[in-house]
């Protein structure tokens, strides 16, 4: 936690010198004071800046596969808790401050398994991320769409670690599988509302 010194407000007393008493020197030596008051602790930025990109490996130092202990050393972890996950399971989730965003990092076997991004602060080098339109992803090489437990997810060949979630019906109206042509035609205006990052392969 950041430490510091509190400054005493002497406003209104600077011109009253009638009762001024010389300050009492502390018994501790200057070297001891220097050792115990080292000033504010360095901020934990997680290697994230305003120019950081969303990549298949993660964002800055926040990466799938990284030990949770390293994340806590490098990043500002706001909470470490058990939360309800898919299929009724409970999962360990770290809430990590990254720039002005808070990213959920799911942990399994003491390593980050998945990152969840819910704002458009972080985009890929080709501008994919939250708020990207479905039609744009549908036009990309190797585009595929598949239903998940809470929506439809899009995948593209150029980003093996990323899944782009859309709040859409889990099945097309006539049943069967979502095809790229059909979902692009029927839901091209839908926008990504969540990006999941997992380790490639």
Residue 84's pLDDT is 87
- Residue spans per domain, the chain: 40-113, 134-198
pLDDT for the residue numbered 16: 41
Distance in angstroms (rounded) separating the CA atoms of residues 102 and 91:
18
Contact 60, 112 (CB under 8 A): no
* pLDDT score of 7: 43
Q: What is the pLDDT along the chain (201 residues), one digit of tens a residue?
A: 444 444 444 444 334 443 333 444 344 444 333 344 455 555 789 999 888 999 999 999 999 999 999 999 999 999 999 998 777 789 999 999 998 899 999 999 999 999 999 999 999 999 999 999 999 999 999 999 998 888 999 999 999 999 999 999 877 777 777 789 989 999 999 999 999 999 987
- Supply the pLDDT for residue 89: 86
114: helix, strand or coil: strand
Distance CA 44, CA 46 (A): 6
CA diameter of the chain: 91
Determine the pLDDT at residue 133: 97
Total Cβ atoms within 10 A of residue 157 = 10
pLDDT on residue 38: 52
| pTM (predicted TM-score) | 0.76
């Amino acid at each position: 936690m950041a430490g510091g010194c509190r400054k005493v407000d002497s406003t209104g007393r600077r011109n009253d010198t009638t009762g001024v008493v010389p300050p009492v020197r502390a018994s501790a030596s200057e070297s001891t004071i220097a050792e115990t008051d080292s000033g504010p602790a360095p901020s934990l930025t997680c290697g994230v800046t305003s120019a950081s990109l969303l990549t298949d490996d993660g964002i800055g130092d926040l990466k799938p596969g990284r030990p949770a202990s390293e994340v806590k050393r490098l990043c500002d972890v706001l909470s470490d808790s058990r939360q309800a996950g898919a299929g009724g399971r409970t999962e360990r989730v770290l809430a990590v401050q990254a720039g002005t965003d808070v990213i959920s990092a799911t942990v399994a076997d003491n390593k980050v398994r998945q990152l969840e991004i819910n704002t458009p602060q972080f985009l890929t080098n080709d501008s994919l991320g939250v708020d990207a339109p479905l039609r744009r992803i549908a036009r990309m090489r190797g585009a595929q769409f598949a239903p998940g437990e809470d929506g439809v997810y899009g995948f593209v060949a150029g980003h093996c670690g990323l899944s782009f979630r859309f709040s859409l019906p889990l099945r097309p109206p006539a049943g069967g599988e979502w095809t790229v042509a059909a979902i692009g035609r029927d839901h091209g205006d839908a926008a990504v509302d969540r990006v999941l990052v997992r380790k490639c392969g």
